[in-house]
Amino acid sequence: MKQCSLDELELVHLSEDASLWSLREPLGANDVAINRFQLAPRSRVPWGLHAHYDQEELFIVIDGTLTFETLNGERSLGTDEAIRFAPGEFQTAKNETGETVTYLAIGAPAGSDDIRIPLPCPTCDNHELQLDMNDDGLRCLACGESVPAECQVCGEDACEVRLGSMAGELVDYCRNCGRTESIRS
């Protein structure tokens, strides 16, 4: 048995609006990843729609309201509510409220190497790209094409896929320069 206090955990700033505390190592958890997150008011996690093809994820809201974007629309969870995403289900989270939200993210198995983004391949038009863990770019599993992850306008690695304003629309959005490009509707 291992025990830890959340006050003793190392705080990791993912962005100026998102922070996490990893519980996996302090608790000696080998088969499950568990992180405590805080997300500032009117902000998003610093990655867009993505799916772990080799990991299921559970999210439990401890305090506040967390909204998940999925390919089927949005789903909001309040305090003491939970949601599960099976391997291969695309999701991302945001806080649309004026209060900080605190939640747990639990993933099993612990490591995830097969992360996919719902972007079309520019070569073969396959509709999913895999995050290349070796160079942080993207790779098409259908044709093998490597696709840079940088914004085509500003060159920063700050792009993410989000839901658009129309039903079923996906957009490629750059957090750095604000470029928005519809990729599917």
| Domain limits, the chain | 6-108, 115-149, 157-185
Rounded to two decimals, the pTM is: 0.90
Alpha-carbon distance 96 to 75, whole Å? Answer: 12
The answer to whether 35 and 105 are in contact (CB under 8 A) is yes
Q: Which is the CATH superfamily of the domain at 6-108?
A: Jelly Rolls (2.60.120.10)
pLDDT tens sequence across 104-151:
999 999 988 899 999 988 899 788 999 887 776 899 999 988 888 788
Burial class (CB in 10 A: 0-12, 13-18, 19+), 31: exposed
State phi, psi for 7 to the nearest 5 degrees: -65, -20
User: How confident is the model over 87-114, as a mean pLDDT?
Assistant: 95
